[in-house]
Amino acid sequence: HLTAIMVKPSAGTAGLAELLTDQRINAVVQGPGLGLGEETRAMVATALASKAAGASAGAGATNKRIVLD
């Protein structure tokens, strides 16, 4: 199944932060399936604050794309 290579579940913000360190992953999409609420805000904040999003552009920043739908 094609989505098996495109979908990676994560266990909360800690799981997402760990997932974003994987150099093989080059994009993260967060959409309506996350729902609404504090946990969703925390997940989005984690993605945007990560080196994957270029939060620390330069040293250690990666070339991942973060998409918020």
CA atoms of 29 and 67, how far apart (whole Å): 5
Q: What is the pTM of this model?
A: 0.68
| SS3 track for 3-48 | HHHCCCCCCHHHHHHHHCCCCCCCEEEECHHHCCCHHHHHHHHHHH
Per-residue pLDDT band for 15 (boundaries 50, 70, 90) equals very high
DSSP code of 68?
E
CA separation (Å) from 34 to 8, 23, 24?
A: 13, 23, 23
Q: What is the pLDDT of residues 18-53, one digit of tens each?
A: 988 888 877 788 888 888 999 999 998 988 888 766
